[in-house]
Structure 1
Amino acid sequence: MPLRLSLPKWPASRKKREPNHLGVVFSPGRLAVAVVREGSQGKPILVAYESFVDDPSLSEVGKWLKREGLSIESVNLTLPGDDYQMLSMDTPSVPAAERADAMRWRVKDMIDFPVDDACVDCLVLPSPDGEGEGSHAWAVVARRERVGEWMSRARKARLPLDSIDIPELALRNLLVLAPQSQATALLRLSSTGGALIVAWRGELCSFRRFNDLNIAHFAAADLMTRQSLLERLALEMQRTADAFERQFYGTSIERVWVEQSVPDLDLVQQLAPHVSMRLHAYELPEQMELGHRAAATMNRSKPPRPSLVAIGAALRRVIVSRDGGAA
């Protein structure tokens, strides 16, 4: 007869905390990281973030995680802009699982290296009226050798690399956190240039890079030069918005979130008179909960600027879990 013991009933344990996810992005002389997890109030939590400068390596990320006492379930690393291409193509008329392979043969004459040496993915855009998938897609192409190098670097740093992404999709993740019936856009200026991306129906629909408009250009410009730069940027933004709304007649850009990244310059205030869209400053505390580590970092005397790309990359698994599909 089995021995049965009457065991004491221990108090119910607290609900297990959601796993942490790490986003990583490299830019010249800088490595930015962010850790996020799902929150209980409908918003994800920015657990922590950090920047490393002076020829940083991924091994520093592992040391930082250990110092902070952070365990990580997944890592999403974004490729630098020079490591991939995005090509506009017709959506392949094949099942979704076969689209990447179909794209491979379409791009073989559009890239300057053998297609057998390429990693290819397919991102399908919504239809112009928003009803289902459209007939246009992005082909994302990267050299297999470069992707392999990033995988090797993550392995050596003992980081659990789960995926390799592109910055445009990382920023898309920020735009789709809250459901929107209309299209939304995000403008950011970084040390390497500017970018405007537009998302609708949860998909990356349009993007524009401004390689000659970066933070340093605005910060170093005199009053007249700065005004000229602002007018150029506003013109490019309006052109992008007009082209998007011609292509996707079922929507309009409801608002443009603007990262206030240029020191001593209110981009929203300066750009608003020159564009037809509604501009709003992108404030992290309005979009995400701040964990105590992230809040402490923001309160340093000289805090690093949070990288929206790193945060968006870290959100990938949160978006996948929420929407039940691939991000």
Structure 2
Amino acid sequence: MDKSLLNKLAFWKKAGQHVDVGLYLTETALHVYQASDEAHPESHYSFSYTKQPAEAFAALQAALGPTRAQLVLNPSFYQLLLVDKPAVDSEEMNQALIWAVKDMVTTAVADIHVDYFEAPTQNSTKLTAVVAAKSQLSQLIQDANLHQLEIVGISIEELAASNLFVDDAQPKMVLCHLPEHELLLTVVRQGKLFMQRRVRGFSGLDKVTQQELGYGMADNLSLEIQRSMDFFESQLRQSPVASIELVMGGPAQALAQLLSANFNQTVNVVATTSTDQLFAQLAYSEFARANEVSEEVAA
């Protein structure tokens, strides 16, 4: 299915030139990735806001003028729920999911927007519902429109991670950490998301010392990684992950060394200025994926 949360919910069309960017929106900032071209080098921007994202959209407009964007949201804008797959046709799935999740969320039924994705494994009776407030997303798009920003696709952190290692045929476990957020653990292979979970207890991982890592935190994290590996292999019946990839700030290299002692897999640190900026870059990767889908449909 389309990875967009609001498929075809673009209320406007822009004429003339625009700049293509990848955006990652958090509770307090808009992170921007602009790819290099003949006139400009690769660029990263960040615009903070205090009340509404519209403040950051205004700053983006002042900096770049009209823009077209793929947007990744952080979890403050959505909730993931693992639910039984409704026995309905695909055209009726979204409506059926609203009634499946209504008692699991505090959002009023009339304001629930739900999309979903499934693991690439066969014969699954479960799917993951992505639940957001329709009013909040609509306001987000309207505010973008007012500031010459055309949002052509909306995705989430878990799915954005699948844009890492898209050409690698071996599954990789990716640990993404943003300051003051729970650790995101995913397994990706060739642009597909095979599993995802939030690992609690590591929200301050970027601030711990090497000594604190050695006093038990790295071993505790190793246990969580091993549980996920066991699930991936035994429950999903997949081959073992080829490597463990760390996307984080702070003592990343020290953590990689400590984890390496507990696993046969190589533990790598993904080179990036910040996890926020990486998610903006992964958002930009959706332009290429959208073009591939268009070409497949045309063929």
Query: What TM-score do you get using the length of structure 2 for normalisation?
Result: 0.77
1:120, CA displacement in angstroms? Answer: 0.6
Using the alignment, how far apart are the partners of 2:78 and 2:223 within structure 1?
27
> Contact between 1:237 and 1:275, CA under 8 Å: does it hold in 2?
no
1:118, CA displacement in angstroms? Answer: 0.6
Q: In the alignment, which of 299, 309, 315 is matched to residue 279 of structure 2?
A: 309
Counterpart residue number, 2:121? 127
**1:59 corresponds to 2:53:** no
Using the alignment, how far apart are the partners of 1:202 and 1:268 within structure 2?
24
1:23, CA displacement in angstroms? Answer: 1.9
Most deviating of 183-192 and 48-57: 48-57
Q: In the alignment, which of 87, 105, 115 is matched to residue 81 of structure 2?
A: 87
3-state secondary structure, aligned to 2:131: strand
1:29, CA displacement in angstroms? Answer: 4.1
Unaligned stretches of 5+ in structure 1?
1-18, 39-45, 285-302
Unaligned stretches of 5+ in structure 2?
1-17
Using the alignment, how far apart are the partners of 2:234 and 2:36 within structure 1?
37
The one-letter code matched in structure 2 to 1:64 is: A
Once the two structures are superposed, residues 147-186 of structure 1 have per-residue CA deviations (whole angstroms, 9 ceiling, x without a partner) of 12221331232211112221111112224x2142x42221
Using the alignment, how far apart are the partners of 1:47 and 1:266 within structure 2?
29
1:90, CA displacement in angstroms? Answer: 2.9
1:143, CA displacement in angstroms? Answer: 1.0
Identity %: 23
Superposed CA RMSD: 3.1
Greater RCO (Cα-Cα under 8 Å, separation 6 or more): 1
Counterpart residue number, 1:167? 157
1:119, CA displacement in angstroms? Answer: 0.6
Using the alignment, how far apart are the partners of 1:105 and 1:201 within structure 2?
33
Instruction: Mark the structure with the bigger radius of gyration.
Output: 1
Aligned residues: 272
Using the alignment, how far apart are the partners of 1:305 and 1:79 within structure 2?
13
Counterpart residue number, 1:144? 134
Query: What TM-score do you get using the length of structure 1 for normalisation?
Result: 0.71
Once the two structures are superposed, residues 194-236 of structure 1 have per-residue CA deviations (whole angstroms, 9 ceiling, x without a partner) of 211112464322212235424x544344714664222222221
Distance 1:78 1:273, change over 3 A: same
Using the alignment, how far apart are the partners of 2:275 and 2:146 within structure 1?
27
> Contact between 2:244 and 2:267, CA under 8 Å: does it hold in 1?
yes
